[in-house]
Structure 1
């Protein structure tokens, strides 16, 4: 029978609670004077310039030493090459002396100029 009545009913419905907006007080800006930037002092300038001069001098000395070392290495290589060439030439000349001083060649030249072998005039030299 409850459905047949047209009377309004009091229903309690829970509504979600909406947060209340509380106005936040605006913060007042406090005026603070800007601090002045202090420039570089004379002592700092002197210190920076002296460090830069020392750094420049070290770089110059380093480059100079590298150039000197490279020059010395080049001279060493040239000297080594010259020594190797001289050694090769000396070995070739020693081989040529050995070939030219063979007994049969010397004997052939002596016969060509009419020289005879005289055992009394021959001296043996031991190296």
Structure 2
């Protein structure tokens, strides 16, 4: 009977320890005041961020303006090149051998080889 009582005590003790609630560790939070140095650093960081954002926007605007100017100049160059090509074609048509021959026949002109000079550019 002693053995059975001892066994019951062991069971009783284990049951009681099993039902005990374990205490959860509690975290204590305290607000820490910000020092003057930290507040100055935070303000400085905020101002630096603001300045960098302003500089970025300014650079973006100037880059867009430069791109627009480049597009405008490129368009002018393209128009001038097209105009030059058209004028060169017109010069070639006006100085063609057939046109000059027709003009000479129309005005009763003849070719005199003694008066011909070769000109190079």
Match of residue 55 from structure 1: 49
- With over 3 angstroms needed to count, the CA separation of the structure-2 counterparts of 1:44 and 1:111, relative to structure 1, is same
Q: Which stretch of structure 1 is more off in the superposition, 103-112 or 37-46?
A: 37-46
The count of corresponding residues between Structure 1 and Structure 2 is 104
**Residue 68 (structure 2) aligns with:** 74
Q: Which residue of 2 aligns with 1:31?
A: none
- Normalised by the length of structure 2, the TM-score is 0.65
Match of 1:40?
34
1:19 is aligned to 12
Shift of 1:65: 1.1
| Uncovered stretches (5+) of structure 1, i.e. residues with no partner | 1-13, 25-33
Deviations 1:67-124 (A, max 9, x none): 2122222222222232222222211221121111111211222333344433333322
Q: How high is the TM-score relative to the length of structure 1?
A: 0.62
Query: Structure 2 stretches of 5 or more lacking a match?
Result: 21-27
| Counterpart selection for 2:102 from 108, 112, 121 | 108
SS class of match (2:67): helix
- Select between 114-123 and 88-97 the one with higher mean Cα deviation: 114-123
Residue 38 of structure 1: how far off its partner (Å):
4.6
Q: SS of the counterpart of 2:33? A: coil
Partner Cα separation in structure 2 for residue 35 and residue 124 of structure 1: 102
Q: Which of the two has higher C-alpha Rg? A: 1
